[in-house]
Structure 1
Amino acid sequence: MRRYCLYILAPLLPATAFAQTAPDLQPDIVVLGAGLPLPPGTPAYGSSLIDRTRLINEASDRVENVLKDVAGFQQFRRSDSRSANPSAQGVTLRALGGNASSRALVLLDGVPLADPFFGYIPFTALSGDRLSGVRITRGGGAGPFGAGAVAGAIELVSATRADLPRVSGSAFYGSDDAMSVQGAISPDLGGGYATLSGRFERGDGFFTTPVNQRVAATARARYRDWSGSLRAVAPIDSETEVQFRGLVYGDNRTLRFDGADSYSEGQDASIRLVHRGAWKVDALAYIQARNFGNKVISATNFRLTLDQRNTPSTGIGGKIELRPPVGADHVLRIGLDTRVGDGELFEDAYSTVTRLVTTRRNAGGRTSTTGLFVEDDWTIGRLVLTGGGRVDRWTITDGFFREANPVGNLTSNLRYADRKGTEATGRAGLLFKASNAIALRAAGYTGFRLPTLNELYRPFVVFPVTTQANAALGLEKLRGVEAGLDVRPVPGVTLGLTAFYNRLNDAIANVTIATNVRQRRNVEAVIAKGVEFTADAMLGTVSLNASYAYSHSTVRDAGALNGFTPSQSPRHAASATLGWAPAPRWSLSGTLRYVGRQFEDDLEKDVLPDALTLDAVASVPLGAHVAIVGRAENVFDEKVVTRNQAGSIDLGTPRRLWIGVRLN
């Protein structure tokens, strides 16, 4: 069974250069629901693996918080998906600067997850129980959908039959009258299987506003979300299978003031064909329908000032990847992928005096990328050389912005010129296994990212600051190099060290242009350089997973920002999880996380202090299939500042306790 489970994780490996366990397995073992195995040169780009055990044993039960195990991962805000605005859940790596859009490519079973309009990741729709593992690769990349991977790639893989019992579920009750219920059934169907799962959670929330800043209108960060997922896998023959995945979700939150409510919702579907014959094939197609709404409340008279009532968007895409038989020493990948996103916003501005609509706005557009990629991995004894390139055709079209008075008469009607171009990117790396205990790796890469429709066309307000959109934004382009060393000093212990230099040209930032006014603009560059350290150990019943990232980021620009640290970019980040499993299904673990001091704004005026938090999880079996689980978030009740706007503060999750049962 252990060898069988390792094969399931093979598409995610390596956590380091030594995690190549798949070749030792029986070649005729095929696990339904998995993708094609990773090429042998993958370790050259450095990766970190998060396994299923860690995903389902997180104190907060949030996937985005588990991803913080890899130092350098960050969202725009330090808040998780219970108390942050959904549109602030963009993901980046290596402190390249925060602007709420994702600079990292996030995939689930090969399908991009980012919202087609905003670029954020719908984390409330993800549950650790539905996943087999995660692989995080920092640094730009080529390969499928590589056009969005300027900061790296985060690849999530759905749980397979070996991960899931026929029936599973959990129910938890926690602080703030919070509850979380989820369950799944996974029957065999013919030669395949299906998994139907659902999740519901709600909570009265905590006060994100400090005591000395609360007013009568101050509200708790209430949340209520749900999701349902269906995944089915059916074999066509001994070498071919079809995988289907459907997802629906809804999410509602309140932030800071009564009436400051937001919602997001989505319906996703994908179908994938995997063929493992001499000519290997991985083909998929997907469609996404998303929506978002948000109400802005004045911080002076606490009345509705803006209703971003409707932001429908659609994403359509797919890929086909071929691996022809070119010899035992080569793994050649040839493929084509495409993504199209379109959307528009509908919002109404209100007078806080009359409480009537003053302006109606409608804006939107369409973006697309279509890329051809080729990559090859060449094994020469202990040396593996890997390299590849992409050529992408990109478009930004149908952009518009309209304003109308309350009765619908247009006062502004702007149409933006269509833009298009071709961008070539690539990467190359090497992996040299000097011995069974030492591996050396080096890589260089380029990448690019289109501005999102949100950055191009949607202004927003976080009182008292208004951030303007900018329809003239150009592409972000990354150039980077890195080198690393992986060492296995004793069995069960692996250490990794990586040094990197990344330059993000034309980085999109929220730039201050007047008092309480910012605009999204391309700055000349953001330069990030630093080191990353990882440690993984399994010694008997004790395990340790740790990482630390030092990222020295600076802005290069002819204007006032030159030499400044990009906003939302901590210099230091660290995480360590110590676990103890003294007997089957008994476990105790603690996670210590540190995030360094960072700036809220581009002018380095508002500081978010550093924070050190401790989480803990304990599981005790009550019988053959039931366990009682206790979880504690932020055990020492550390004050975590998530927003500081000229002294107006938001706070992250305080100490919260959970108790529940898990059925397995």
Structure 2
Amino acid sequence: MRSLLSFGLVLFAVPSWAQAPGDDQEEANAGPIIVVTGEGLEETPASPAYSSREIGREQIVTTPSGTVEEALGAVAGFQQFRRSDSRSANPSAQGVTLRALGGNATSRALVLLDGVPIADPFFGYIPFGALATERLASIRVTRGGGSGPFGAGALAGTIELESAGLDTLAPFGASLLANDRGATEASAILARPLGAGFAVVSGRWDRSQGFFTTPENQRVPATARSRYDSWSGSLRGVAPIGASVELQANALVFDDRRTLRFQGADTSASGADASLRLVGRGEWQFDALAYLQTRDFSNVVISSTRFVPVLDQRDTPSTGLGGKLELRPPVGGGHTLRIGADFRQAEGELQEDAFSALTGNVTERRRAGGSTSDLGLFVEDDWSLGELVLSGGLRADRTVIGDGFYVARNPSGGIVEEVIAPRRTDWSVTWRAGAAWQATDTLRLRGAAYRGLRLPTLNELLRPFVVFPVVTQANAALRNEELEGYEMGVDFTPTPAVELTATVFDNRVDGAIANVTLAPNLRQRQNLPAIEARGVELGARAAIGAFSFDGTLAYTDAEVVGRGPSAALDGNRPSQTPRWTAAATASLRPSDGWLAALTLRHVGEQFESDLETDRLAPATTLGAFFQAPLAGTLSVVMRGENLTGETIVTRNADGSVDLGVPRTFWAGLRYGF
């Protein structure tokens, strides 16, 4: 809290300090015009060489569910480990990946908010409940690995969330909606100039009694709705320091509480994040960033036979800290050179108690913890040669896994099991290279190859867990995942209003970490020999008058390469991996303030386990958004989720099923959006 207090003082002191001294307005206006953006450095010339897709603000704030993860679903191939969203999923299962490269619930895509990695330091999940759609200006999704200047962890790609600034936000905005089950969603955001900079303050509160994730024929008296109660607040300030440098300061606090499946199965996730960023746009461009994260997680597991607590993961405090420095010296000759370093460290500890389902007495007390760190050095150059742009970069990472332990004690203090993991260090070299050729005014050809890296999380290394009746063991000996891949694509723009894209890719993750079945109801996290994923990604956009369309389609043929303990998995699809995914949004804006949109999402067949058992049927959902102006910037808003009432199976453990969101209707008011 002391760090956050100091951060807040800096946030408000800097804009005041940045104002011209004195009261003479004419003198203050005599200097150069200073424009602050709140953004990072511009994209480099070779960025079109890599398969990326932008999600604009309108599409973000008009999703049928009002969640960031549904906005990200506009990019086919984006997936979480399970199909549940942040209102009915266990937070620890909300890891994200791209291109069907997931093997468990940890993120394989690097997710950045204003340049800061936001994955939980212990588990690697993304705190979607803390990410309010109304705070964002845009999202850029780059599919394909190769960490380069982004930092380690971009194994399957990078997702960049950019906060909205004064050019996007109204001075004041507010929203209040309710749905047909009594849920409420309330938010407010205040944006105002401060000197030559600006500040944005926002808050959001979501609350609901939830819906039954358990099918009616499997409910028991202890069955509970998926209740949730979550809030978040953010504070952001941007101020100039001279004519070409700006300081960006961000703070985020959140608390997310959910109940899953049974009464008493309560989960909580909370955190506080703070960052400072200096961006220089002069002749020597630079981006310097430092951040601190504190997180906590708790989870109560209820017996599915006696419906009493059998595990209390009462406390999982973790800390993430790091920074980045990137320089772009003015080398000339058509070159854009990027040189820099970044660092990230994660520390965390788990404390939990196991109980007897018969007596309620404690049977074991467990603790686990450790740390990981990554120091990366990178260099990358884009070379513009007329209509051809070439890009190449190298990265060296020193990774450290240290201080790992797991100890289980009986009620009298005797050790039942103990694991002390030795300190491990490693150096890895990764790279990426790409080319983009503007062949004609309407046709661009591109290609890329890359190698990426991801450290195992503390959760994968040290924390066993149970999703009854399956026990999944941790593995302190896990090694880093490494990806190699290549892709080729074409972007066709027959008119400024129409864009068609196609990408074919081939990716391979050596040492992919997966939950590997060892015996009935027993799994362990292990490094597979590899996961191979090949496929095609298609995209289409059109904006014709008041009508617009955005659609994506992805087909991925992913399979496990198995040997030794994983020989039985050879040729299988990784768990929770569909072959087909698709997304489309069609919207109509007949006049100012009016908007109607339909959103289609499709996820193909998946399997719950690595043995291709417990099938999850395909699911196709239809959502809607409607907005009509009342007075000024006050509008009435209506949303519909899963309008066709599709049965969405999110988990299937030998017939024990969890379901996703049913048909849901929302209505309310928005002001200033």
Please say whether Structure 1 and Structure 2 have the same fold, judged by a TM-score greater than 0.5. yes
How much does 1:274 deviate?
0.5
Q: Is the 8 A contact 1:142 1:373 kept in 2?
A: no
Alignment of 1:149-548 (within 5 A): 149-327=154-332, 329-548=334-553
CA distance in 1, matches of 2:90, 2:552: 28
Report the Cα distance in structure 1 between the residues aligned to 2:583 and 2:519, rounded to whole angstroms.
38
For 2:12, the equivalent position in structure 1 comes to: none
Q: Do structure 1's residue 576 and structure 2's residue 584 form an aligned pair?
A: yes
**Can you give the 5+ residue segments of structure 2 that lack an aligned partner in the other structure?**
1-31
Deviation, structure 1 residue 34 = 1.4
Secondary structure at 2:149 match in 1: coil
Instruction: Please point out which of 611, 636, 647 is paired with 1:603.
Output: 611
Instruction: State the shift of 1:491 in Å.
Output: 2.8
Aligned twin of 1:620: 628
Deviations along 1:84-123, whole A, 9 cap, x unmatched?
0000000000011340000000000100000000000000
- For the 8 Å contact 2:405–2:421, the answer to whether it is kept is yes
Shifted more, 151-160 versus 186-195: the winner is 186-195
Are 2:129 and 1:121 aligned?
Answer: no
Letter in 1 for 2:174: G
Count residues in correspondence.
638
Partner of 1:86: 91
Is the 8 Å Cα contact of residues 363 and 401 (structure 1) preserved in structure 2?
A: yes
* Residues 412-431 of structure 1: CA deviation (Å, up to 9, x unaligned): 34311110100000000000
Instruction: Give the AA of the match of 2:570.
Output: N
Residue 643 of structure 2: which of 635, 647, 652 is its match? Answer: 635
Aligned to 2:653: 645
Contact 2:147–2:453 (CA<8 Å) still a contact in 1? no
For 2:598, the aligned partner's letter is: G
Match of 1:111 in 2: 116
Amino acid at match of 2:671: L
Contact 1:366–1:398 under 8 Å retained in 2: yes
Contact 1:100 1:120 in 2 (8 A): yes
TM-score, normalising length from structure 1? Answer: 0.95
Report the CA distance between 1:328 and its aligned residue: 5.4
Whole-angstrom CA distance in 2 between matches of 1:303 and 1:485: 56
Q: CA deviation at 1:390?
A: 0.3
Give the ranges of 4+ consecutive aligned residues of structure 1 lying more than 6 Å apart after TM superposition: none
Once the two structures are TM-superposed, the CA of residue 32 in structure 1 deviates from its matched residue by 2.2
SS at 2:49's partner residue?
A: helix
Following superposition, the deviation at residue 578 of structure 1 comes to 0.1
Residue 548 of structure 1 and its aligned partner are, at CA, apart by 0.1
* Pair 1:136 & 2:123 matched: no
Residues 97 and 646 (structure 1 numbering): CA distance in 2 closer, same or farther, change over 3 Å?
same
SS in 1 for 2:152: helix
Structure 1, residues 208-257: CA drift from partner, whole Å, max 9, x if none?
01111111111100000000000000111110110000000000001111
CA contact (8 A) 2:606 2:616 kept: yes
Other structure's SS at 2:631 match: coil
Counterpart-to-counterpart distance in 2, 1:436 and 1:332? 27
Deviation at 1:489, TM superposition (A): 1.7
Distance 1:180 1:144 in 2: 37
- Whichever residue aligns with residue 567 of structure 1, its letter is S
Structure 1 residue 565 corresponds to structure 2 residue 573: yes
Please say if residues 151 and 342 of structure 2, whose CA atoms lie closer than 8 Å, have aligned partners that are also in contact. Answer: no
- Helix, strand or coil at the partner of 1:148: coil
Give the letter for the 1:379 counterpart: S
Q: Residue deviations 1:449-498, cap 9 Å, x none?
A: 11000000001111111111000111111000000000012230000000
**What SS does the corresponding residue of 1:81 show, helix, strand or coil?**
coil
Distance apart, 1:179 and its partner CA: 0.2
Question: What is the root-mean-square deviation of aligned Cα atoms in Å?
Answer: 1.1
Contact 1:92 1:98 (8 Å CA) reproduced? no
- Equivalent residue of 2:313, what SS? strand
Paired with 2:466 and 2:70, the residues of 1 have a C-alpha distance of: 26
- Counterpart of 1:331, as a letter, is T
Matched residue SS, 1:187: strand
* Cα distance in 2, alignment partners of residues 123 and 656 from structure 1: 20
Q: State how far apart, in whole Å, the 2-side matches of 1:472 and 1:149 are.
A: 22
Normalising by structure 2, what TM-score?
A: 0.94
Name the SS for the 1:233 alignment partner: strand
